[in-house]
C-alpha cells in the first residue's frame, strides 16, 4: 500500500489525476495497468478474487439486500457526515466553496440518521441481519467519522447503535 | 413480485431501463405518488423506512430498496446480457464507473434540483447557493465525461452497462435545472444520442 497525503493535496497532482481522474482515494493499481477507484468497487473486485468469507452476499436476494443496506448507510449517514465535515472544517476552507449553514443542516441529518439506524438495528446483531457484511464496515467507518471528524456525538440513549458499534469495533479488522 | 414505482422520478427510471435492457417485462409496477408525498405515509414507511422509491417486493415479503440493489438482484437472476460486469475485474470497473456517474453526474443534478426547486420547498431545508455549486460541478463533470468518451463507445468501455443507464438518467434529469450537454461536447453528444435511441430509453 502506497500512502498519498490528502492533507497536502497530493491526490490532486497531475500524476495522480492521470491514474484516477476523480481525484479520490483509495484506488488499486492492477498488474495490467488498470486503475480501480471507488472503495466499494475495489471491495467488489476483492470479493470476486476471494469469495470467502462472504461480505457482499451469496444469492440474488442476499446480494441485493446487503447492497441496499450498504447504500442506505453510505448515502444517508456517511455522505451527510462527509458534507458536514467538508462544509465546516479548516481542511476544506480553501478547497471548496464552503456553506457552513449547509454543513449545519448535514450535522442534523447525521444525528437523525443515528436515531434511524438505532431503530433499524433493533435486536439484530449486524446491520444487514445475522452476519457481518460490508454494510457493517461502511457503518462503522461512517459512525467513527461522524463522531471524530464531523463532531456529531453518539447519544448513549441509542443503545442498539452503541451495542452494535462496540461489537464491530472490537473485531481485529477495526484496527486496520 | 412487484416494484413500487413513480414514472416521473429519475431513480425508478434506472430500474425500468435496466429491466428493459435485460428483456424482463413481466414484473408488475405499482405507482406511489411522490408529488403528494405518498412515499412518506406510514403504510409506505413499513415497506421502505427510508421512504424512497423504487422498492422491489419479493414473493417472500422481502423489500429491496435502492435502485442499484434492485438491479443487482435482477443481474444475478438473469445474467444475460451482462450489465454489471462479467468477472472480478470487470465487475469492479463497472461499479467504479457507475458510482462516478451516480455521485458526480446524477448526484450533482439531484443536489441542484433539491436545493433550488419549488418541488422540495418545505420538504427539506434548501440552501440555494449550495444548489448552484452542485449545478456548476455537474456542468464541469460533463466536460470531463466528454473527454472520457473520446476513445470508448460506452462509459465503462466497449459494452453498454449500468453506468450508461445512470449517466443517461443523470444527464436527462439535469435538464430540470438547465444542466445540458454543450455544443462542443461532440463525444458526449454522440454517446447520448446512441443510448437515447435504444428502445430501453423509453422505459
* Each residue's pLDDT tens digit, A45-99: 999 999 999 999 999 999 999 999 999 999 999 999 999 999 998 888 888 888 8
A17 touches chain B (CB under 8 A): no
Q: Looking at the predicted structure, is the pLDDT value of residue A161 above 80?
A: yes
Q: How far is B197 from chain A (nearest CA, A)?
A: 29
Q: Give the minimum alpha-carbon distance from A119 to chain B in angstroms, rounded to a whole number.
A: 10
pLDDT at A170: 96
Rg (CA), chain A: 17
Question: For A99, which of B64, B96, B129 is closest by C-beta distance?
Answer: B129
| Stretch (H or E) spanning B97 | helix B88-100
Chain A residues 131-150 within an 8 A CB cutoff of chain B: none
What pLDDT score was predicted for residue B142? 97
Per-residue pLDDT of chain B (203 residues; tens, 9 = 90+): 999 999 989 999 999 999 999 999 999 999 999 989 999 999 999 999 999 999 999 999 999 999 999 999 999 999 999 999 999 999 999 999 999 999 999 999 999 999 999 988 888 888 899 899 999 999 999 999 999 999 999 999 999 999 999 999 999 999 999 999 999 999 999 999 999 999 999 99
| pLDDT value, residue A104 | 93
The answer to whether B69 contacts A61, with C-beta atoms less than 8 Å apart, is: no
Report the residue count for chain A. 176
pLDDT digits (tens, 9 = 90+) for A107-160: 999 999 999 999 999 999 999 989 999 999 999 999 999 999 999 999 999 999
Residue A22 pLDDT > 80 = no
Q: What are the backbone angles phi and psi of residue A145, rounded to the nearest 5°?
A: -65, -40
* pLDDT score recorded for residue A1: 87
Predicted pLDDT at A58: 95
- Residue A7 Cα to chain centre, angstroms: 19
pTM reported for the whole predicted model: 0.93
Amino acid at each position: 500500500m502506497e500512502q498519498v497525503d490528502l492533507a497536502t493535496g497530493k491526490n490532486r497532482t497531475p500524476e495522480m489525476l492521470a491514474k484516477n481522474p476523480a481525484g479520490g482515494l483509495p484506488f488499486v493499481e492492477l498488474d495490467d495497468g488498470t486503475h480501480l477507484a471507488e472503495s466499494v468497487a475495489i471491495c467488489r473486485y476483492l470479493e470476486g478474487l476471494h469469495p470467502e468469507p462472504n461480505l457482499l452476499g451469496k444469492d440474488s436476494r442476499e446480494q441485493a439486500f446487503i447492497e441496499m443496506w450498504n447504500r442506505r448507510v453510505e448515502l444517508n449517514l456517511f455522505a451527510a457526515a462527509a458534507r458536514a465535515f467538508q462544509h465546516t472544517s479548516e481542511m476544506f476552507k480553501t478547497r471548496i466553496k464552503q456553506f457552513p449553514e449547509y454543513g449545519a443542516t448535514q450535522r442534523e441529518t447525521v444525528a437523525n440518521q443515528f436515531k434511524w439506524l438505532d431503530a433499524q438495528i433493533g435486536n439484530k446483531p449486524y446491520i444487514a441481519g445475522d452476519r457481518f457484511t460490508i454494510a457493517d464496515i461502511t457503518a462503522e467507518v461512517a459512525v467513527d467519522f461522524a463522531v471524530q471528524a464531523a463532531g456529531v456525538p453518539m447519544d448513549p440513549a441509542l443503545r442498539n447503535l452503541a451495542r452494535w458499534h462496540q461489537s464491530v469495533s472490537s473485531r481485529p479488522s477495526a484496527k486496520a | 413480485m412487484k416494484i413500487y414505482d413513480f414514472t416521473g422520478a429519475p431513480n425508478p427510471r434506472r430500474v425500468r431501463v435496466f429491466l428493459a435492457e435485460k428483456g424482463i417485462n413481466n414484473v408488475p409496477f405499482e405507482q406511489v405518488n411522490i408529488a403528494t408525498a405518498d412515499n412518506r405515509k406510514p403504510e409506505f414507511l413499513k415497506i421502505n423506512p427510508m421512504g424512497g422509491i423504487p422498492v422491489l417486493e419479493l414473493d417472500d415479503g422481502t423489500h429491496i430498496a435502492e435502485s442499484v440493489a434492485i438491479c443487482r438482484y435482477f443481474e444475478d437472476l438473469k445474467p444475460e446480457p451482462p450489465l454489471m460486469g462479467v468477472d472480478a475485474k470487470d465487475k469492479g470497473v463497472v461499479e467504479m464507473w457507475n458510482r462516478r456517474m451516480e455521485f458526480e453526474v446524477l448526484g450533482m443534478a439531484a443536489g441542484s434540483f433539491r436545493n433550488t426547486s419549488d418541488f422540495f420547498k418545505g420538504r427539506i431545508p434548501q440552501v440555494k447557493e449550495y444548489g448552484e455549486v452542485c449545478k456548476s460541478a455537474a456542468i464541469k463533470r460533463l466536460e470531463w465525461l466528454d473527454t472520457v468518451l473520446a476513445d470508448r463507445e460506452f462509459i465503462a468501455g466497449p459494452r453498454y452497462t449500468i453506468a450508461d443507464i445512470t449517466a443517461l438518467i443523470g444527464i436527462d434529469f439535469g435538464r430540470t435545472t438547465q444542466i445540458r450537454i454543450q455544443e462542443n461536447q461532440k463525444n458526449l453528444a454522440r454517446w447520448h444520442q446512441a443510448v437515447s435511441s435504444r428502445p430501453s430509453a423509453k422505459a
